[in-house]
């Protein structure tokens, strides 16, 4: 508990995590940052973002669309799953699931949850990741999104209202605003997270920059599963 005690008396540093459930690397980043919430002296703010908008505005493209990157990703995901201790595996039809269908309905739903019932944002996001990046299930259809919401603990009647809300102008504008904010910080892909240190925002990209984030925050890096390390 030494790391926790060291944080007492210091104001918490804000860390914004911009993510999309279509991105497996976003899942890795979210889980690790959530694991560190009780260890580092941080306030973690989850920021549902639309990766498609980031890609379009920056001219970027998914790594799997570059043949050699795709080959590497297929080999790397099992290693990452073991290292981060997550049940991560690629869907069988990557192009259909990730590229063609995408995540816009899902991220609008997560945004609606963030507006109306923010206490469920983390659990809903996790269940959507579990569907696409663990069980090879759909996250595009309404019934799929409702199933994820139910698994996250949202009563069905409330989930249906949130799904209806996800088509509203308020939600669409909120998701676009968050995506634009990530772009203004310099994001070109997800996950992107911003550490607000000494009044200055610092952008990091990718789930492999968390150790560097710890250094900037003045915190100790104890690996991706800090509970397995001696504090």
Query: Judging by beta carbons within 10 Å of its beta carbon (0-12, 13-18, 19+), is residue 70 exposed, middle or buried?
Result: middle
Report how many domains make up the chain: 1
Q: Which residue has the higher pLDDT, 51 or 199?
A: 51
Supply the range of the domain harboring residue 72. 2-228
Cβ within 8 Å of residue 3, ≥6 positions away? 39, 40, 219, 220, 222, 231
Q: What is the pLDDT of residues 183-230, one digit of tens each?
A: 999 999 999 999 999 989 999 999 999 999 999 999 999 999 998 655
Interatomic CA distance for residues 152 and 123, integer angstroms:
5
Whose structure tokens read 């308020």? 170
What is the C-alpha separation between 97 and 103, in angstroms, rounded?
A: 9
Please give the model's pTM, rounded to 2 decimal places: 0.93
Q: What is the CATH number of the domain that holds 127?
A: 3.40.30.10
> Rounded to an integer, what distance in angstroms lies between the CA atom of residue 175 and that of residue 165?
13
Structure confidence by residue, pLDDT tens digits, 93-138: 988 888 889 999 999 999 999 999 999 999 999 999 999 999 999 9
């Amino acid at each position: 508990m030494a790391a926790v005690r060291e944080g007492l008396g210091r104001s918490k540093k804000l860390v914004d995590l911009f993510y999309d459930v279509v991105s497996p690397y976003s899942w890795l980043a979210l889980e690790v940052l959530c694991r560190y919430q009780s260890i580092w002296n941080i306030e973690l703010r989850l920021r549902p973002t639309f990766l498609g908008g980031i890609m379009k505005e920056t001219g970027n493209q998914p790594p799997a669309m570059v043949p050699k990157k795709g080959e590497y990703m297929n080999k790397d995901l099992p290693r990452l799953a073991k290292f981060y201790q997550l049940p991560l595996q690629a869907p069988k039809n990557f192009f259909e699931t990730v590229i063609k269908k995408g995540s816009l309905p899902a991220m609008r739903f997560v945004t609606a949850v963030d507006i109306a019932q923010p206490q469920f944002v983390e659990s809903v996001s996790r269940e959507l990741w579990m569907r696409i990046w663990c069980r090879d299930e759909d996250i595009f259809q309404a019934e799929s999104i409702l199933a994820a919401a139910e698994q996250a603990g949202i009563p069905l009647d409330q989930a249906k209202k949130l799904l209806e809300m996800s088509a509203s102008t308020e939600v669409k504008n909120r998701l676009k605003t968050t995506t634009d904010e990530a772009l203004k910080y310099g994001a070109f892909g997800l996950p992107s997270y911003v550490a607000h240190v000494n009044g200055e925002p610092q952008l990091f990209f990718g789930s492999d920059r968390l150790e560097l984030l710890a250094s900037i925050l003045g915190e100790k890096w104890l690996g991706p599963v800090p509970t397995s390390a001696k504090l």
